[in-house]
Amino acid sequence: MNIIIVGCGKVGSTLAEQLAQEKHNITLIDKNSKKLQDISNACDALGIHGNGASFNTLQEAGVEEADLLIAVTDSDEQNLLCCVVARQSGNCHTIARVRNPIYHKERDFLRRELGLSILINPEYTAAAEIAKLLQIPNAKEVDTFGKGRADLIKMVLRDESPLNGMLVQDIDRKLKCQILVCSVERDGDVVIPSGTYQMKAGDKISFIGDNESIYRFMKRIGERSGKIRKVLIVGGSILTYYLVKKIENTGFDVTIIEQDMERCNELSVMLPQSIVINGDGTDRDTLMEAGLASADVFIPMTNFDEENIMLALYSKSVSDAKTVTKVTRLNFEDVINELPIDNVVYPKDLTAESILLYIRAMENSGNSSIETLYRLDKNRVEAIEFLVSDSCSMIGQPIRSLRLKENLLIAAIIRNGKIVFPRGEDSLKPGDSVIVVTTQKGLDDISEILI
């Protein structure tokens, strides 16, 4: 596809890199010539120096032949204007990044009246991700399928876990739990395990199941399942606002530390159920007075990655709180993921996932539609939910007879609201949601799971 990206900031550069890897033709537009040149060279993309809301600039970028324009500058208004001009001067789909809570509340109106394909909001998406993590204390990641009917959970096996040394095929028999292990990361390598794969301590396993089965499984392997109540957040950003709005009616007691007095006053009005403290969240005394030692969850969300990481590490030394850390840059992702921090959330990656899902849906050939897309294990594994249409050629064929691609697993089928772990004699039916986990990249139709 021919894709124009306006804005070469953190989100724009991440998108350019990932879309270039999927063999799309990328054109970048930015006012900063050095940044534009660096990213264009790194992604083998065409760079256009100029204003992405300018008709002439968009013409130079080839908007008339473009399939999609993505506007991700630092200005919501600029992004919206870019999309409007692109719609008027070409016939492409448009995606705008909109962060302001005021515009977020009006997203349906903006999308409808301005002809936008989708609006993306990295902070809101990250808040939704963190909210999911608070529901399962020991999960490293939580990804949802089938409109909440199934979850894909990632966790690290501890030495004392009953899974240490167990074969994948023995989980159901020994633990009486209907879950399926989909991928395992060990020593930097990722595999889609067979039934005879033996798990061991230190493995990062991803498994899928319905909510009840996951709760029973976590309890039987001795993972913490106590209810979270006290949440301490450092930083009163837009992300903090979105997160607290998502969890404020779920029984959490939320305390926010914010250094700017004016922002504290704003948050006190917008989030009346939370305690807002004016203070330096990087100060030890302030943290302890705010209740870090007794907190169930600690979430540092300052504007500096280094501060967030150091605060999370400090929390581990003085409390038993689950730590959830926001990291904006991906330069040291491998190092950060090895630190003793429970969860790290990357808003840029989550945004890229949302856009990739839309692009895959645009490319879809018609046998199915993509409902959900997640990237796991440092983008080396994809979990995709396909909705099977009446025209799918695999309908009625036993799964054992399908010639599936290597390193690909049909993990689950959601049928009539229930999750089914398919066996060899099972087959697909129209209306099924099929969850596929694979190391194969770029699948946009269920027919592509076959050799």
Give the pLDDT of residue 364: 80
pTM for the model: 0.88
CATH 3.40.50.720 fits 2-120, yes or no: yes
Q: Which residues contact 418 (CB under 8 A, 6 or more apart)?
A: 149, 210
Instruction: Identify the CATH assignment for 230-345 out of 3.40.50.720, 3.40.50.12780, 3.40.50.740, 3.20.20.70.
Output: 3.40.50.720
- Answer yes or no: are the C-beta atoms of 273 and 248 closer than 8 Å: yes
Give the pLDDT of residue 335: 80
Pairing of strands 381-388, 343-345: unpaired
Give the pLDDT of residue 130: 95
CATH 3.30.365.10 fits 350-449, yes or no: no
Give the pLDDT of residue 98: 94
Give the pLDDT of residue 225: 56
Pairing of strands 381-388, 230-234: unpaired
Give the pLDDT of residue 330: 61
The CATH superfamily of 138-220 is: Regulator of K+ conductance, C-terminal domain (3.30.70.1450)
- Answer yes or no: are the C-beta atoms of 385 and 145 closer than 8 Å: yes
User: What is the signed CA dihedral for 211, 213, 216, 220, rounded to 10 degrees?
Assistant: -130
Give the pLDDT of residue 262: 97
Give the pLDDT of residue 379: 84
B/e letters for 95-106, b = 16+ CB within 10 Å, e = fewer, are bbbbbebebbee
User: For the sheet containing 368-376, what is the strand order?
Assistant: 368-376, 381-388, 433-438, 408-415, 418-420
pLDDT along the chain (451 residues), means of 10: 94 90 94 94 94 96 96 96 94 94 92 93 93 88 92 94 96 92 93 96 95 90 78 97 93 96 97 97 96 96 94 95 87 78 89 88 81 89 95 94 95 94 94 96 91 90
Query: Structural domain boundaries of the chain?
Result: 2-120, 138-220, 230-345, 350-449
Asked if the domains at 2-120 and 138-220 fall in one CATH topology, the answer is no
B/e letters for 111-150, b = 16+ CB within 10 Å, e = fewer, are beeeebbebbbbbbbbbebbbbbbebbbbbbbbbbbeeeb
